[in-house]
Amino acid sequence: MDLRSSSEAADDENEHFRENGAELFQLNVGTDVRAKGSFWEKLASDSSPQTVRDLLHSIYRSIPMAVAPALQIVFERIEAGSPPILIHCAAGKDRTGVAVALLLHALGSSMDGIMKDYLETQNRLTQASITRSTETLAAIVGEPLHPESLSLLSGVRRDFLKQSFSWMDRKYDGADGFLESCAGLTNQRKAAIRRALLEPE
C-alpha cells in the first residue's frame, strides 16, 4: 500500500516489492511535507521554527481526509482476508503515521497506545535519513534550515498527531464518525478487521 503521490512513486518505484511478488497499490496521497506546492513556497519565504510548526499543524489537519480513500482499500483487503500488508509513504511518518493511527483506532487501541506507537518513529530515525532530509530540504528551500525547523520536519511530535484527531473531533464528532463517513468503516467491517487482526483475549 504505497501512499506516495504518483510523481513521488515515479521517482523511486517499488521494484523490490514487485520483483518479490507483492501486489502493489499506488494510492496517490499527495498531502505530505515533501509534496510540491504552496508548502515549499511558504517555507522558502520563512523557515523559522514557528512557521514550520504552523505549516505542519495545517498539514496534519488535512491528512485524515487525504488518506481516507486509501484506508477504505486497506480495510476492504483486510476484511477479504488478504495476506500481510505493508503501508508506506516517502518518509514513513506523516501520511503513514496518521493512516496507521487510524487503523489502530479502528482496532480499538487507546489514544495512549496509538500515540506511543506514533512517537516510536522518532526513536527509529537513522543518521542516514536525517542527513538525507537535511540535504533535500536545504536544496529545495535554498539554504540550510534552522536546526529546530529541521527537527520538526524530519521527526514526529505529539502535537502533530493531536491536530489530526482534533480535526476529526470537530468535523465528525470523533475518529469513529470520520472512519465511517469517509473510509467506509461500517460496524460490520470493523468487526471483520478485528477478527482478522486481533488475537482473542
Provide the residue ranges of all domains of the chain, joining segments of one domain with +: 6-197
3-state class (DSSP) for residue 90: coil
How many Cβ atoms sit within 10 Å of the Cβ of residue 135? 11
Backbone angles phi, psi at 95, to 5 degrees: -60, -50
DSSP, res 32: S
Q: Please tell me the predicted confidence (pLDDT) of residue 112.
A: 98
How many Cβ atoms sit within 10 Å of the Cβ of residue 57? 17
Bridge partners, residue 74, by sequence: none
**Which overall architecture, per CATH, does domain 6-197 show?**
Alpha-Beta Complex (3.90)
Inter-residue contact 100 to 87 (CB < 8 Å): yes
The rounded Cα 46 to chain-centroid distance in angstroms is 24
Q: Residue 6: which H helix or E strand, with range? A: helix 6-11
What is d(CA 170, CA 101) in angstroms, rounded to the nearest whole number?
A: 18
What is d(CA 109, CA 100) in angstroms, rounded to the nearest whole number?
A: 11
Q: Please tell me the predicted confidence (pLDDT) of residue 192.
A: 95
Q: Please tell me the predicted confidence (pLDDT) of residue 34.
A: 47
The rounded Cα 149 to chain-centroid distance in angstroms is 19
3-state class (DSSP) for residue 2: strand
pTM score of the predicted model? 0.90
Closest CA to 87 of 197, 14, 2: 2
Inter-residue contact 167 to 31 (CB < 8 Å): no
Largest CA distance in the chain: 54
What is d(CA 103, CA 193) in angstroms, rounded to the nearest whole number?
A: 10
- Helix ranges (H only) for 12-146 are 15-19, 38-45, 49-79, 95-106, 111-123, 127-141
Block mean pLDDT (10 aa), the chain, length 201: 87 87 89 55 83 92 95 94 87 93 98 98 84 78 83 93 98 98 96 92 78
Inter-residue contact 61 to 167 (CB < 8 Å): yes
Q: Please tell me the predicted confidence (pLDDT) of residue 31.
A: 52
